Amino acid sequence: MVLHDTDDTTGQPTPARTGLENLLAEDRRFAPDPEFAAQANVHAEVYSWANADRLDFWADQARGLLDWATPFTQTLDWSGAPVARWFADGTLNAAYNAVDRHVAAGRGDRVALHFEGEPGDTRTLTYADLLREVSKAANALTELGVRTGDRVAIYLPLIPEAVIAMLACARIGAPHSVVFGGFSAQALHSRILDADARVVITADGGYRRGAPSALKSTVDEALAAGSGEIVRHVLVVRRTGQDVDWTEGRDLWWHDAVDGASDQHEAVAVEAEHPLFILYTSGTTGKPKGIFHTTGGYLTQAAWTHRNVFDLKPETDVYWCTADIGWITGHTYVVYGPLINGATQVIYEGTPDTPDRGRWWDIVQKYRVSILYTAPTAIRTCMKWGEELPSARDLSSLRVLGSVGEPINPEAWTWYRRVIGGDRTPVVDTWWQTETGAIMISPLPGVTAAKPGSAQVPLPGIAATVVDDDAQPVPDGAGGYLVLTEPWPAMLRGVWGDEQRFRDTYWSRFPGIYFAGDGAKKDDDGDIWLLGRVDDVMNVSGHRLSTTEIESALVAHPAVAEAAVVGAADDTTGQAVVAFVILRGDAQTDPETVGEDLRAHVAKLIGPIAKPRTVLVVPELPKTRSGKIMRRLLRDVAEHRQVGDATTLADASVMDLIQQGLATPSTD
Ligand code: WTA
């Protein structure tokens, strides 16, 4: 069994899940509301159809949900496994499907985006507006020399131009690489280099926690670090009006380049397997992985899941996904899924507590949001802030609630349903990854019963299961590794520029089977419960961070000799980064400030999101005889537990030394 193994590479069950057994014993399940079920987009038959003929099911969805420039005749080609080809002889354009066809069908007046800026400014863009803006931006990019197949890096706050920029790239078949605006210059630099991006789209800054925060200066710093050699142009949106440095010939204002461009542009039909985007994610090495997705299969599954997991009614619903476009959730469930489906959605630039902790609920009330999709961390934070804030607003428009990014503990799930959903809304706990491209495991509202804390069942057309060390499916009631045994339309097609890494990371643990990196358990009903990562990847506020990447950043600091990083349970963020560092003997460091220095150093190299919550200075690290750090023991320390079995340590006294060393200042 994987979860309590003493093998150092295995993870810990998520501690927030205490009470799981109790909850299962009580069998607290919410049956679908009959009225909701009668009007739901899908019914139970969808499972039998997909089970009977998975490929027929997906081919039918691809035809029904998308407009093809050339219809496909072939559904799946798996002969090049593990690289799948879906609908490969068809051609289409993502932006055409997301925008043009809605306008052509007479829906140009429907609102596509209700933008809410953090300072309170708003903009409304209909599908017709979006078509004009995306066409202009596509013409401007073409003018800057961007051709089909070229990569464009996007480093923007969540403003309409972010959506427009992504669609403009898709329109000309230039894969975009969105880099989260919270990442540092170093992180941006390495992503620009890896993707060989020729144009960067950014803004002067964005609003965050009540103040403008700079983006353009970070791009300047990234380009100065070397990627400037390959980047020809930087297109800059004026958002905050703050001062920016300017490189003549390279930098252009968005309003100069885009506003005057023609609003007529014909979308380029690309092959279904043409890359749509690259998105970097953390792996078990320091180097970020460029996960890339292609067009036809990705859009099919994005559209199907968005429509059916949230029971979207495009004519009447107002949908809001709180994710930033810097993450996969922002790609699939802010940009492609909702727009392909012709939905009306809210996008919000800022944080939930600006200007006060009622901001999110004000937004739900103001736009009469009916579908809300967010992360457990946010739900737990709101829980901490108290139910008076949501209760003081009219949230009665909500009818479906979604959760993503990490296991949601049953307490937070039931709070979400009761306080936010007013006890009437289905809650869908959706499991998926950057690599899977779209939701894979989730209840279907109106169809399946919901069980707090469990992502439950694979969606129709998805083959997910839990296996043991020998790749055998575990019986109900047992735990193991989460795997996907059949290809799915939105699956990643590889790691950009590194096919070997793709094979090694996902396909080598169990030959021929995709291993997701997560531990999971099947309960007595056969429902799946996610139990967190079993590799060295942490999940902080629903964001994947690599222990190795943070360790590399720490040892790059002149004061640090060695570092080990673990994810420790945290009530709000799920996991928090805890760093154990050994200082260099000759280091000129002030023990009072070294923790803060190192936190700032990690923020600079990777981004504030990767900052350790706690830095512990220790005299030694626990290592096996083969020199492998035993993170399990460090996690015990970080989570204030009795330290577990340390007999395989090369030097068994190290743990005592560490415990004593913890008298040293930390930032906890
Ligand atoms: C975790 C985010 C439990 C999981 C869309 C996965 C979840 C990683 C859930 C992917 C969920 C995501 N329940 N765990 N509903 N959703 N995860 O690539 O560990 O940023 O492997 O994609 O988040 O994170 P990523």
CA distances from 383 to 212, 350, 541, 571, 613 (A): 28, 19, 15, 11, 21
Question: Is the peptide bond prior to 82 cis by the omega test (within 30 degrees of 0)?
Answer: yes
656 C-alpha vs ligand 1 centroid, how far in Å?
Answer: 35
Range scoring the smallest mean pLDDT among 249-253, 348-352, 651-655:
651-655
How distant is the alpha carbon of residue 383 from its chain centre? Answer: 22
- Residue closest to 361 by CA, chosen among 387, 381, 390: 390
Q: Which pLDDT band, with edges at 50, 70 and 90, does 18 fall under?
A: very low
Atom of ligand 1 nearest to the CA of 532: 19
Write the CB contacts of 385 (distance below 8 Å, at least 6 apart in sequence): 353, 357
Q: How far is it, in rounded angstroms, from Cα 598 to Cα 461?
A: 47
Contact 338, 331 (CB under 8 A): no
Q: How far is it, in rounded angstroms, from Cα 302 to Cα 279?
A: 16
Q: Within 10 Å of residue 664's Cβ, how many Cβ atoms?
A: 15
95 C-alpha vs ligand 1 centroid, how far in Å?
Answer: 27
Q: How far separated are the first and last CA of the chain, in Å rounded? A: 33
Q: Which pLDDT band, with edges at 50, 70 and 90, does 5 fall under?
A: very low
- Residue closest to 214 by CA, chosen among 232, 194, 196, 188: 188
357 lies in the same domain as 256: yes
CA distances from 56 to 7, 49, 60, 461 (A): 42, 9, 6, 10
Q: What are phi and psi of 155, to 5 degrees?
A: -135, 85
Mean pLDDT of 520-527: 93
Q: For ligand 1, atom 10, name the residue with the nearest CA.
A: 433
pLDDT top residue among 147 and 629: 147
CA dihedral defined by 307, 77, 171, 104, rounded to 10 degrees?
-50
pLDDT at 6 over 70: no
Q: What are phi and psi of 497, to 5 degrees?
A: 70, 10
235 C-alpha vs ligand 1 centroid, how far in Å?
Answer: 32
Structure tokens at 598: 């190192």
Query: How high is the pLDDT of residue 661?
Result: 62
The arrangement of strands across the sheet holding 400-404 comes to 122-126, 111-116, 344-348, 318-321, 371-374, 400-404, 427-430
Query: How high is the pLDDT of residue 28?
Result: 65
Paired strand residues for 124: 114
Return the percentage of the chain with pLDDT > 70, whole number. 95
Q: Which of 539, 575, 609 to mutate to test the pocket of ligand 1 (most atoms within 8 A of CB)?
A: 539
pLDDT top residue among 285 and 546: 546
558 lies in the same domain as 460: no
Mean pLDDT of 558-585: 93
Q: How far is it, in rounded angstroms, from Cα 531 to Cα 12?
A: 8
Q: Assess if residue 63 is contained within a domain.
A: yes
CATH code: domain of residue 603: 3.30.300.30
Q: How far is it, in rounded angstroms, from Cα 661 to Cα 644?
A: 18
Contact 342, 110 (CB under 8 A): yes
Mean pLDDT of 135-156: 98
Summarised one tens digit per residue, pLDDT across range 312-350 is: 999 999 999 999 999 999 999 999 999 999 999 999 999
Q: For ligand 1, atom 22, name the residue with the nearest CA.
A: 433
- Expressed as residue numbers, the domain containing 119 is 39-262+269-474+483-522
59 lies in the same domain as 173: yes
Contact 268, 295 (CB under 8 A): no
Q: Assess if residue 369 is contained within a domain.
A: yes
Query: How high is the pLDDT of residue 652?
Result: 79
Angle between helices 594-605 and 547-555 (to 10 degrees): 120
pLDDT at 100 over 60: yes
Q: For ligand 1, atom 25, name the residue with the nearest CA.
A: 433
Query: How high is the pLDDT of residue 645?
Result: 83
> What are the b/e assignments for 289-318, b being 16+ CB within 10 Å?
bbbbbbbbbbbbbbbbbbbbbbbbbeeebb
96 lies in the same domain as 134: yes
465 lies in the same domain as 429: yes
Looking up tokens 């997701």 gives: 516
- What is 258-292 written as a DSSP string? TTTS-S--PPPPEETTSEEEEEEE--SSSSPEEEE
Q: Assess if residue 64 is contained within a domain.
A: yes
81 C-alpha vs ligand 1 centroid, how far in Å?
Answer: 24
- Our count of domains for the chain comes to 2
Task: Write the single-letter amino acid at 58.
Answer: W
549 lies in the same domain as 464: no
- Residue closest to 376 by CA, chosen among 428, 444, 331, 424: 428
Q: Which pLDDT band, with edges at 50, 70 and 90, does 440 fall under?
A: very high
522 C-alpha vs ligand 1 centroid, how far in Å?
Answer: 17
Q: Assess if residue 180 is contained within a domain.
A: yes
Q: Which pLDDT band, with edges at 50, 70 and 90, does 662 fall under?
A: low
Q: How far is it, in rounded angstroms, from Cα 527 to Cα 431?
A: 13
Task: Write the single-letter amino acid at 209.
Answer: R
In degrees, rounded to 5, the angle at the alpha carbon of residue 105 between the alpha carbons of residues 100 and 111 is 70
Summarised one tens digit per residue, pLDDT across range 387-418 is: 999 999 999 999 999 999 999 999 999 999 99
Atom of ligand 1 nearest to the CA of 442: 15
Q: Which of 495, 544, 546 to mutate to test the pocket of ligand 1 (most atoms within 8 A of CB)?
A: 544
Sign, CA torsion 77/56/522/435? positive
CATH code: domain of residue 89: 3.40.50.12780
183 lies in the same domain as 238: yes
169 C-alpha vs ligand 1 centroid, how far in Å?
Answer: 27
22: burial class by Cβ within 10 Å (0-12, 13-18, 19+)? exposed
389 C-alpha vs ligand 1 centroid, how far in Å?
Answer: 28
Query: How high is the pLDDT of residue 660?
Result: 73
The H-or-E segment that residue 345 falls in is strand 344-348
Summarised one tens digit per residue, pLDDT across range 584-633 is: 988 778 878 999 999 999 999 999 999 999 999 998 999 888 788 888 89
Q: Assess if residue 254 is contained within a domain.
A: yes
pLDDT at 491 over 80: yes
508 C-alpha vs ligand 1 centroid, how far in Å?
Answer: 21
Where are the alpha helices (H) located in 321-375, listed in sequence order? 328-330, 337-340, 359-367
- What is 419-484 written as a DSSP string? IITTTTS-EEEEB--TTT-S--B---TTTS-B-TT--BSBPTT--EEEE-TTSPBPPTT-EEEEEE
Structure tokens at 548: 């190795």
Q: Assess if residue 591 is contained within a domain.
A: yes
Residues at CB less than 6 angstroms from ligand 1: 281, 327-329, 404-407, 429-434, 455, 516-518, 530, 533, 539, 544
Summarised one tens digit per residue, pLDDT across range 196-230 is: 999 999 999 999 999 999 999 999 999 999 988 99
Q: For ligand 1, atom 15, name the residue with the nearest CA.
A: 431
379 lies in the same domain as 490: yes
Q: How far is it, in rounded angstroms, from Cα 225 to Cα 219?
A: 10
501 lies in the same domain as 548: no
Return the percentage of the chain with pLDDT > 90, whole number. 84
500 lies in the same domain as 647: no
Q: For ligand 1, atom 8, name the residue with the nearest CA.
A: 433
In degrees, rounded to 5, the angle at the alpha carbon of residue 529 between the alpha carbons of residues 528 and 531 is 135
Q: Which pLDDT band, with edges at 50, 70 and 90, does 27 fall under?
A: low
Q: Which of 20, 324, 413, 433 to mutate to test the pocket of ligand 1 (most atoms within 8 A of CB)?
A: 433
Q: Assess if residue 351 is contained within a domain.
A: yes
Contact 367, 531 (CB under 8 A): no
Q: Assess if residue 5 is contained within a domain.
A: no
397 C-alpha vs ligand 1 centroid, how far in Å?
Answer: 28
Query: How high is the pLDDT of residue 651?
Result: 84
Question: Is the peptide bond prior to 175 cis by the omega test (within 30 degrees of 0)?
Answer: no
Rg for the chain, CA atoms, rounded = 24
pLDDT at 12 over 60: no
446 lies in the same domain as 563: no
Task: Write the single-letter amino acid at 442.
Answer: S
Task: Indicate the SS3 state at residue 170.
Answer: helix
243 lies in the same domain as 354: yes
Query: How high is the pLDDT of residue 7?
Result: 32
570 C-alpha vs ligand 1 centroid, how far in Å?
Answer: 17
